[in-house]
């Protein structure tokens, strides 16, 4: 390809964003088709990226480096390794399905898609940036449009949720901002380039401080206990595509940051904090699961289950061994797709039933078997049913956790039990049981609306029965990162 | 020296402008008042063009009036900025409701006098000229506040005058101490003598008192008390002028005076404390405000705190980041006040409230977008100019070792994001209380598009402005 691949993946949503801003708001269909075209292009480009990427070498590939303000260490540089590549693939799958699932929105369509595309370009930018200035710039761009998406198109308690989410996430990013500036000042060579920062020696005490700053700063975005409180209200209030992006991709940005910057640059710090972070992760897993048990609003259940599943990711990262890290990255991907599927299904149900409460819904499997089955599949993935990718991910993380912290690992398996409980009881209340006559006339999903949800299920299934495909992509990277720890 | 007199053209142009306006006041009945605004616009545009022409990138230095008046890169940069800001304020004052029609000319005279004072100030190389120029600015602005016939306007202007007079007194006393001990009123001489003078407590007190004069103009704690009342009550175009030009000059004089006094490191703890208090006070109180101009007054107090964080480092990186941020800040504030002026006209009030912003995105998408960009830029969100400015400010501070101060400042930025987002929420999320669309004159549309382009352009590619700021900092 003549054009650099990574820049094109980044430019696709940005150019579409620009185009959509120029079109008058009443040409709703034009806006939708532009968004869809850019999502399709991005997906094709990411698949091409996966095909032409050599996963056996752990170094950064598709490197692009443009001088921006060289005197201040700011260069526009991109590069991906295995982990970043799968994250970009995840984002492009979710934005594609998100754009399709948002087709039914009628209010202020132009601004909705503009915000969505701007957000997604920020996310892509984070995954492919290897210069800390642009990492941070794209990180902030990925957070701010959520405010508008939730405040304008959201549902329950949207103003409160939007403000809480934005302020929490940006408060977390203050630690990251200060940390990046300190790194720049510390190195003396005046660089923000990740590849050059690898070679810098940090003293053990400074590593401990830096790792703590970055772990908490990125952890806020990853729903690290006890900074997770923004996440469930944000999930509930956001419109479908925003929730899909938020839980599916945004929360993974945090874990990605911890791995890319915390684990790689500060191994001594990671080892020092690893017991503490493991305990916080397990708290998150169990706390999230137990609160989900008591929820009556399905989106709150999914929100707290996201907190719980992200706890699994953080536990995998804290184990600092190969099973743990591979499981963590696998869980990032698998949970992203699964939660996108969850929100896609519940979004459809909410659009037609105008309620998400377990008390009101019931027996939906009779009127709408297809959407019910899709939601049930998502639930089964969540509780770790073998055959789907969720099982592989959780298995790897728990084995890694038991290797590193036997007691903590065993406690985390309890969470699986609690997850099974709330998932199955939610499914039983909403979908099985006596038919609720209020929703007798609810239409089931039609063909083109099945399509995005089916794609998500396919991905979960493929990586569930053939996890080696995914693991081949990430094992070289994770082995390379963990070299320092053995 | 005759051939280099053309470097003084901006100031001479302003004097000619003031002279013309003064002549105009003598022949009040003969000419139609519309001619005044046309004359004003043409003159201020001419001054902008002239400032551009004397903008020497070669970095050469000219001295006038027995070396008391220095023209260097930094001074010309600021004169360009000041003349551009004056031009925009005059353009906006065309339909100003708060200024009685018969007093338009006087208002323009004082605006021009204040700008002249500021231009003299940025070029001053000597403490007496510094004091005279500062007083020129001060008296011009004292008179501009009570243009509205309003008892609260009188109260605010009394507060401003009394506090201003007090700090002026402190300033001149400080100047007398400093120049007395250094035995010269020239900046260069004081700079040479300064390293020997540091342990002298009288010199330190003198420095502090001189700085107090500047803190007043910068609305830094504890001299910020005038800002909320004055901003709320004065005519909005006057407030725009204060918030942009006056602030920019004050910040520049802060770094210049700190550099001249030999960068007294002993003062740093005091400056840190003032910065922290300004940021905290400004942000915390702004959250409670419902009046837009008061909210921006408190926000400007907080922004002075951020500027102080970088200014207290007293090295070249800090100074260049301050100059960069000050230019960005003038543009951002101009954008925000543009929105306030236009909303005020649409709602026929001198004090728009936050609820007047409701549904702005439906009433005027361009104005709502300008509000969004200016407010997010003030909060420091990429890819806007404010983010680049804050990045450089805090990078300079971290490099000098003030990491904890920077963490505090960045947390304050997030707090400020709360009240800025509330404004955006009113504009974009809330339904409009008045359905009437706000139509914008082509002149306003042109200015708005220019400002938007600048804010986005500087944010995405700050190199150009940063290079200018670096050269300017070198010449201090």
Report the C-alpha gap between A423 and A406 in whole angstroms: 27
**HSE-CB for A262 with a 13 A CA cutoff:** 31
- Residues of B with Cβ-Cβ distance to A140 under 8 angstroms: 381-382, 387
In the prediction, which pLDDT does B91 show?
85
φ, ψ of residue A286 to 5 degrees: the values are -75, -40
Q: Which two tokens stand for residue B274?
A: 């003032």
Yes or no, beta carbons of A140 and B381 under 8 Å apart: yes
Q: What is the mean pLDDT of residues B250-265?
A: 87
For A190, nearest residue in chain B (alpha carbons): B399
Is pLDDT of A57 > 90?
A: no
Q: Convert the pLDDT of each residue in A161-208 to its tens digit.
A: 999 999 999 999 999 999 998 888 877 667 788 888 887 888 888 889
Is pLDDT of A45 > 50?
A: yes
Report the C-alpha gap between A357 and A349 in whole angstroms: 11
In the prediction, which pLDDT does B29 show?
65
Q: Which of A370, A345, A376, A349 is nearest to A360 (CA)?
A: A349
Q: Which two tokens stand for residue A345?
A: 């299904």
In the prediction, which pLDDT does B282 show?
93
Inter-chain Cβ pairs, chain A and chain B, closer than 8 A: 73
- Residues of A with Cβ-Cβ distance to B463 under 8 angstroms: 68-69
Yes or no, beta carbons of B376 and A144 under 8 Å apart: yes
Yes or no, beta carbons of A151 and B417 under 8 Å apart: no
Is pLDDT of B2 > 50?
A: no
- Candidate from A374-388, A428-442, B295-309 with smallest mean pLDDT: A428-442
Report the gap between the CA of B1 and the closest CA in chain A (Å): 38
pLDDT band of residue A1 (cuts 50, 70, 90) is: very low
Yes or no, beta carbons of B398 and A144 under 8 Å apart: no
For A143, nearest residue in chain B (alpha carbons): B381
Judged by CB atoms within 8 Å, which residues 403-422 of B form the interface with A? Answer: 403, 406-407, 410-411, 413-414, 417-418, 421
Yes or no, beta carbons of A167 and B406 under 8 Å apart: no
Does B359 contact A at CB distance below 8 Å?
no
Q: Convert the pLDDT of each residue in A63-118 to its tens digit.
A: 888 888 877 878 888 888 889 999 999 999 999 999 998 888 888 888 999 999 99
- Candidate from A38-42, B143-147, B437-441 with smallest mean pLDDT: B437-441
Query: How open is the CA angle B39-B42-B44, to the nearest 5 degrees?
Result: 105
Q: Convert the pLDDT of each residue in A124-142 to its tens digit.
A: 999 999 889 899 999 999 9
- Residues of A with Cβ-Cβ distance to B414 under 8 angstroms: 167, 170-171, 174
Q: What is the mean pLDDT of residues B286-296?
A: 91
- Residue of higher predicted confidence among B161 and B382: B161
Question: How many residues are recorded in chain B?
Answer: 476
In the prediction, which pLDDT does A206 show?
87
Whether residue A84 contacts residue A125, with contact meaning beta carbons closer than 8 Å, is answered with no
Whether residue B147 contacts residue B238, with contact meaning beta carbons closer than 8 Å, is answered with yes
What is the average pLDDT value for chain A, to the nearest integer?
89
A234 Cβ contact list (under 8 Å, min separation 6): A146, A150, A161, A162, A164, A165, A246, A303
Q: Which of B456, B329, B420 is nearest to A167 (CA)?
A: B420
Report the gap between the CA of A214 and the closest CA in chain B (Å): 13
In the prediction, which pLDDT does B204 show?
86
Judged by CB atoms within 8 Å, which residues 260-289 of B form the interface with A? Answer: none
In the prediction, which pLDDT does B1 show?
46
Q: Which of B419, B240, B411, B436 is nearest to B356 (CA)?
A: B436
- Residue of higher predicted confidence among B294 and A53: B294
Whether residue B433 contacts residue B355, with contact meaning beta carbons closer than 8 Å, is answered with yes
Global pTM reads 0.91
Whether residue B425 contacts residue B343, with contact meaning beta carbons closer than 8 Å, is answered with no
Residue A182: which of B398, B414, B429 has the nearest Cβ?
B398
Q: What is the mean pLDDT of residues B197-222?
A: 87
What is the average pLDDT value for chain B, to the nearest integer?
87
Q: Give the rounded percent of residues in chain A with a pLDDT score beyond 90.
A: 50
- Candidate from A27-36, A277-286, B113-122, B195-204 with smallest mean pLDDT: B195-204
Yes or no, beta carbons of B429 and A174 under 8 Å apart: no
Whether residue A73 contacts residue A133, with contact meaning beta carbons closer than 8 Å, is answered with yes
Residue B417: which of A69, A151, A167 has the nearest Cβ?
A167
Report the C-alpha gap between A63 and A445 in whole angstroms: 43
- Residues of A with Cβ-Cβ distance to B381 under 8 angstroms: 140, 144
Is pLDDT of A309 > 90?
A: yes
Q: Convert the pLDDT of each residue in B403-417 to its tens digit.
A: 899 999 999 999 999
């Amino acid at each position: 390809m003549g054009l650099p691949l990574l820049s094109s993946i980044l430019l696709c949503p940005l150019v579409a964003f620009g185009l959509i801003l120029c079109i008058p708001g009443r040409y709703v269909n034009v806006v939708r088709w532009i968004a869809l075209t850019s999502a399709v292009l991005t997906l094709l480009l990411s698949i091409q990226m996966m095909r032409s990427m050599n996963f056996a070498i752990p170094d950064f590939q598709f490197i692009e480096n443009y001088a921006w303000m060289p005197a201040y260490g700011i260069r526009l540089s991109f590069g991906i390794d295995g982990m970043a590549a799968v994250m970009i693939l995840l984002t492009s799958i979710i934005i594609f399905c998100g754009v399709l699932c948002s087709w039914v929105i009628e209010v202020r369509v132009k601004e909705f898609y503009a915000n969505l595309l701007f957000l997604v370009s920020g996310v892509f930018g984070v995954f492919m940036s290897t210069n800390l200035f642009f990492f941070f710039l794209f990180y902030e761009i990925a957070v701010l449009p959520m405010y508008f998406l939730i405040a304008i198109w959201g549902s329950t308690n949207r103003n409160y949720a939007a403000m809480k989410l934005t302020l929490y996430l940006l408060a977390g990013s203050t630690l990251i901002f200060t940390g990046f500036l300190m790194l720049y000042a510390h190195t003396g060579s005046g660089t923000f380039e990740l590849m050059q920062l690898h070679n810098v020696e940090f003293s053990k005490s400074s590593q401990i401080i830096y790792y703590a700053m970055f772990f908490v700063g990125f952890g806020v975005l990853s729903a690290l206990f006890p900074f997770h409180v923004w996440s469930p209200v944000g999930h509930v209030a956001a419109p479908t595509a925003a929730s899909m992006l938020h839980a599916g991709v945004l929360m993974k940005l945090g874990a990605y940051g911890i791995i890319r910057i915390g684990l790689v640059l500060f191994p001594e710090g990671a080892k020092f904090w690893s017991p503490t972070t493991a305990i916080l992760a397990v708290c998150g897993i169990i706390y999230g699961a137990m609160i989900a048990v008591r929820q009556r609003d399905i989106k709150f259940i999914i929100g707290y289950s996201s907190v719980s599943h992200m706890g699994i990711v953080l536990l995998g990262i804290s184990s600092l061994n190969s099973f743990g890290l591979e499981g963590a990255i696998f869980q990032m991907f698998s949970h992203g797709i699964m939660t996108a599927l969850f929100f896609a299904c519940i979004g459809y149900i909410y659009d037609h039933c105008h309620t998400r409460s377990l008390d009101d819904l019931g027996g939906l499997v009779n009127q709408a078997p297809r959407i019910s089955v899709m939601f049930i599949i998502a639930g089964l993935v969540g509780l770790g049913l073998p055959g789907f990718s969720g099982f592989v991910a959780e298995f790897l993380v728990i084995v890694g956790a038991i290797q590193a912290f036997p007691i903590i690992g065993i406690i985390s398996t309890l969470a699986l039990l609690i997850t099974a409980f709330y998932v199955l009881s939610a499914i039983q209340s909403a979908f099985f049981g006596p038919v609720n006559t209020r929703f007798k006339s609810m239409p089931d999903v039609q063909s083109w609306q099945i399509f995005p949800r089916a794609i998500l299920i396919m991905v979960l299934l493929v990586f569930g029965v053939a996890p080696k495909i995914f693991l081949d992509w990430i094992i070289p990277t994770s082995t390379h990162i963990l070299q320092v720890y053995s | 020296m005759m051939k280099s007199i053309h470097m003084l053209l901006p100031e001479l142009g302003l004097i000619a402008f003031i002279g013309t306006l003064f002549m105009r006041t003598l022949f009040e009945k003969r000419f139609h008042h519309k001619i005044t605004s046309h004359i004003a616009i043409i003159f201020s545009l001419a001054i902008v063009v002239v400032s551009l022409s004397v903008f020497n990138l070669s970095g050469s230095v000219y001295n006038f009036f027995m070396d008391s008046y220095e023209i260097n890169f930094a001074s010309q940069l600021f004169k360009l900025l000041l003349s551009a800001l004056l031009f925009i304020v005059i353009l906006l004052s065309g339909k100003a409701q708060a200024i009685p029609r018969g007093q338009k000319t006087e208002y323009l005279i004082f605006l021009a006098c204040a700008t002249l004072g500021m231009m003299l100030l940025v070029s001053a190389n000597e403490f007496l000229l510094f004091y005279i120029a500062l007083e020129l600015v001060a008296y011009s602005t004292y008179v501009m506040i009570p243009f509205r016939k309003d008892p609260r306007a009188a109260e605010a202007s009394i507060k401003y005058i009394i506090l201003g007079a007090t700090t002026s007194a402190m300033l001149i006393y400080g100047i007398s101490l400093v120049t007395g001990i250094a035995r010269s009123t020239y900046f260069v001489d004081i700079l040479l003598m300064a390293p020997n003078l540091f342990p002298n407590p009288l010199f330190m007190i003198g420095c502090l008192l001189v700085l107090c004069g500047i803190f007043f103009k910068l609305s830094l704690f504890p001299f910020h008390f005038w800002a909320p009342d004055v901003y709320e009550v004065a005519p909005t175009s006057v407030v725009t002028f204060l918030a942009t030009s006056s602030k920019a000059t004050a910040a520049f004089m802060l770094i210049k005076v700190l550099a001249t006094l030999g960068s007294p490191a002993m003062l740093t703890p005091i400056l840190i404390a003032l910065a922290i208090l300004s940021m905290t006070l400004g942000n915390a109180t702004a959250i409670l405000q419902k009046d837009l101009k008061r909210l921006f007054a408190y926000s400007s107090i907080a922004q002075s705190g951020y500027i102080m964080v970088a200014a207290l480092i007293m090295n070249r990186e800090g100074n260049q980041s301050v100059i960069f941020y000050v230019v960005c800040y003038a543009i951002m504030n101009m954008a925000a006040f543009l929105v306030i002026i236009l909303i005020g006209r649409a709602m026929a009030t001198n004090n728009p409230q936050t609820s007047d912003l409701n549904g702005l995105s439906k009433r005027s998408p361009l104005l709502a977008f300008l509000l969004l960009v200016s407010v997010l830029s003030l909060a420091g969100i990429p890819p806007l100019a404010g983010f680049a400015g804050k990045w450089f400010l805090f990078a300079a501070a971290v490099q000098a070792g003030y990491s904890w101060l920077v963490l505090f400042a960045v947390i304050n930025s997030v707090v400020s994001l709360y009240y800025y987002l509330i404004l955006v929420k009113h504009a974009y999320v809330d339904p409009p209380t008045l359905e009437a669309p706000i139509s914008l004159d082509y002149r306003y549309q042109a200015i708005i598009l220019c400002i938007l382009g600048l804010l986005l352009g500087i944010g995405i590619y700050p190199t150009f402005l940063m290079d200018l700021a670096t050269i300017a900092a070198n010449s201090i």
